[in-house]
Structure 1
């Protein structure tokens, strides 16, 4: 898929000091909400408070190792890995169906580990890149990128702002608006300043998050109790030390389905990153990306946490800051590991008010969607392309607002698929592009 021109201050392979890299990596980490998935899973399966804290730490470490594997060693693109929302229901269901507790968790992790091996094999055999080459032209790729941004918007606004557990809805909207306005202001100021003034654009995300958190503190919406109670250093869980793998056939089949959906979704992330960094996806990078995805998920299983995948939000942050250096993502991976080894630091990250994150995240989603629109703008949109683009967008909206009560009545496999509007939109765009006649 062809890429569009994006104004980058620093390209993917350009040098940048490690001091700057860690600062910039921190804002990627802060904007990712990686702790949310393990928190939800822990509540669902009934883990204790201490088990929940350990699961969050393990997720940070797995995300850090997976990010370094993907950005530094395999795909070699600025991609940050974090816990995926897609497997939440499957992991919780497998755990509870196998007796709950660490015994049931071992069955979920065993199935996750074997599924990750299959993903890795797909990368080594090169089967996935052949699929991309044949089925994802620019019109389809642009549609997928647009749908990625669109599908994340409701979570950014509804989950982080409207339904925040802290403060009133009016307070959260005000906090999100101020945070977003600060980020936009810094970005504009950086673009219209001298070369030395570009720091405003580069640090726009972390500045907005920090300022928003300070404002939340004055509004009585910043709770640092968990930070004060947490330990400075604590070990995560690990295979054979805290749990052991067990293998259940139905659990393995379930996780294989989950990984199919996961790869379909992460393809959207790769397309988005490729577009904003002007780095075409070729055969080798796709194969290495699939291998990296598999190895990252294997690492997550060994640390006893849920599968990790590329986060689309980072593509938006790259576009906003203009910094695409892979060194920033290696630094982010290192910070993930450091935060994962410190209960106090991981608690500090999770204490950032959700409305503050929502204010930044909502804008990032819009930037991702516009990246897809830029790709589509270069295409000749005929009658066929109209349906290839519009139907997946319609499905994203429909599935995002599909009532949970109805979704729970559907067969398990359908629930997994419908639980990922991005995957459904991607598959629909691919199928329509192949089956609809050109004229």
Structure 2
């Protein structure tokens, strides 16, 4: 197949409407993969504020409600909003640290956090005239490096899940490792011996198998399910009118800028994976949807939203590119948010079950990044340095969480304490510094001896993209 028909086929795959049963299965697979990440921020904030179990459960419902809306906005789109790619949304973990700090101030509380979230959403919407410029800083080298960093920094999360979760008192117990190993083994067996639709839902089959084994072992604990109401509608401003505190607003606006940069790399990477490159208008719509989702989040008692990187690996693994699959996930999550019993079940999935799948999925994120980086010129020493140093810096928060705590001000936390953000910004700045003299010029490849040879196509840099229509 020539490049033009192949590109057209991939673009059509993104916009393809699948049969309802397949949409439901693929959509549920995405929901299960993102479930732990979706409910973690409300649990963390609830613990920081010493909230009751009922209040935390309500925060989870609010989180899921806005997550479902945000996914639908990104996947299906509204006029002026939505990247219209298979994107899963959720609460940004870059916001968790600042929100925990806000929670320590009794004058801020939840109304102050929600007020800062609303302000951050408005700030993001006001930045619309500058969104198109962000694409200029993400040539193939940077995009691939960022997605590789996302996979590398997520893998430890999957490993901790496989051990029973970082907070488990019996972390690494044989029962956790056995369940995680079972899930991983089922996924590998289905991927090896099945084909078509069954192979594409290998992760879902593995997760279900893990739950069936975890239940009799006592890991899948549904105690408290009966006490949850059958239906609970999410209401805006449940905790009172939002309040606005300068320090909280500034911190959350910094988080908003960080998440917009992360989302830019994510959108461009997903566009590469599904074969539908993201142009400037599409990028602008995607970032506007991020900002709108954050604004809606503050109104509906939850926290800043952004695209979820772990689901990128699922798209890359299954090769199911349809944006209607993630839209189906959005509808499922909306339904779950209205039925607290379902939300309770999703929130109760054992970490070990998620860990077995996480090792595969997060590894696939890294694999997608390697593929994109491999299409850049890694025979060039400067490009090698961009990749090497960016990955090295991204590992600092994971290897030494307190590395910057003693010397850097608190407002730098969203940047320096996130490996993804630190690595992303490093890749952008290193590429600008090391390749500033050849941005927008035709790329060169290098032979085995390191001698430069002209490439057939130009690699876009900030200068070239800045001039593009």
Structure 2 length normalisation: TM-score?
0.85
The aligned residue for residue 30 of structure 2 is 28
What is the number of residues matched between the two proteins?
Answer: 423
The aligned residue for residue 420 of structure 2 is 422
Q: Which of residues 153, 173, 180 in structure 2 aligns to 1:176?
A: 180
Instruction: Tell me by how many angstroms 1:213 deviates.
Output: 0.7
Please give the per-residue CA displacement for 1:364-422, whole angstroms capped at 9, x wherever unaligned. Answer: 11111111111121222211001100001101122212234863774112222122111
- CA gap of 1:409–1:176, structure 2 versus 1, over 3 A, is farther
SS of 1:131's partner is helix
The aligned residue for residue 230 of structure 1 is 228
Q: Distance in 2 between matches of 1:297 and 1:52?
A: 19
Residue 151 of structure 1 pairs with residue 153 of structure 2:
yes
For 1:104-115, list aligned pairs within 5 A. Answer: 104-115=109-120
Structure 1 unaligned blocks of 5 or more: 192-197
For 1:357-436, list aligned pairs within 5 A. Answer: 357-381=354-378, 382-404=380-402, 407=405, 410-436=408-434
Q: Which of residues 329, 346, 352 in structure 1 aligns to 2:326?
A: 329
* Counterpart contact for 2:163–2:177, Cα < 8 Å: yes
- CA gap of 1:373–1:380, structure 2 versus 1, over 3 A, is same
Q: Distance in 2 between matches of 1:222 and 1:280?
A: 41
* Counterpart contact for 1:83–1:306, Cα < 8 Å: yes
Q: Distance in 2 between matches of 1:158 and 1:407?
A: 23
The aligned residue for residue 214 of structure 2 is 216
Instruction: Tell me by how many angstroms 1:68 deviates.
Output: 0.5
Instruction: Tell me by how many angstroms 1:188 deviates.
Output: 2.2
Q: Which of residues 342, 346, 355 in structure 1 aligns to 2:343?
A: 346
The aligned residue for residue 163 of structure 2 is 161
Residue 118 of structure 1 pairs with residue 115 of structure 2:
no
Residue 63 of structure 1 pairs with residue 71 of structure 2:
no
For 1:73-152, list aligned pairs within 5 A. Answer: 73=77, 74-99=82-107, 104-123=109-128, 125=129, 127-133=130-136, 135-152=137-154
Instruction: Tell me by how many angstroms 1:85 deviates.
Output: 1.2
Instruction: Tell me by how many angstroms 1:324 deviates.
Output: 1.6
When structure 1 is superposed on structure 2, of 140-149 and 153-162 the one drifting more is: 153-162
- CA gap of 1:62–1:433, structure 2 versus 1, over 3 A, is same
Instruction: Tell me by how many angstroms 1:323 deviates.
Output: 1.4
The aligned residue for residue 317 of structure 1 is 314
Instruction: Tell me by how many angstroms 1:423 deviates.
Output: 1.2
When structure 1 is superposed on structure 2, of 397-406 and 24-33 the one drifting more is: 397-406
Instruction: Tell me by how many angstroms 1:72 deviates.
Output: 0.6
Q: Distance in 2 between matches of 1:141 and 1:296?
A: 24
Instruction: Tell me by how many angstroms 1:322 deviates.
Output: 2.3
SS of 1:35's partner is helix
Q: Distance in 2 between matches of 1:209 and 1:64?
A: 21
The aligned residue for residue 54 of structure 2 is 50
Q: Distance in 1 between matches of 2:83 and 2:40?
A: 26
* Counterpart contact for 1:164–1:354, Cα < 8 Å: no
Please give the per-residue CA displacement for 1:80-123, whole angstroms capped at 9, x wherever unaligned. Answer: 111121111212222332436xxx21111111111111112223
Please give the per-residue CA displacement for 1:33-71, whole angstroms capped at 9, x wherever unaligned. Answer: 211111111111211111100000000000000111111
Q: Distance in 1 between matches of 2:302 and 2:291?
A: 14
SS of 2:93's partner is coil
Please give the per-residue CA displacement for 1:98-149, whole angstroms capped at 9, x wherever unaligned. Answer: 436xxx21111111111111112223x2x1221222x211111111110011
RCO higher in structure (CA 8 A, sep ≥6): 1
* Counterpart contact for 1:8–1:322, Cα < 8 Å: no
Instruction: Tell me by how many angstroms 1:272 deviates.
Output: 3.1
The aligned residue for residue 288 of structure 1 is 285
Q: Distance in 1 between matches of 2:299 and 2:139?
A: 37
When structure 1 is superposed on structure 2, of 413-422 and 397-406 the one drifting more is: 397-406
Q: CA RMSD in A?
A: 2.3
- CA gap of 1:373–1:274, structure 2 versus 1, over 3 A, is same
Structure 1 length normalisation: TM-score?
0.91
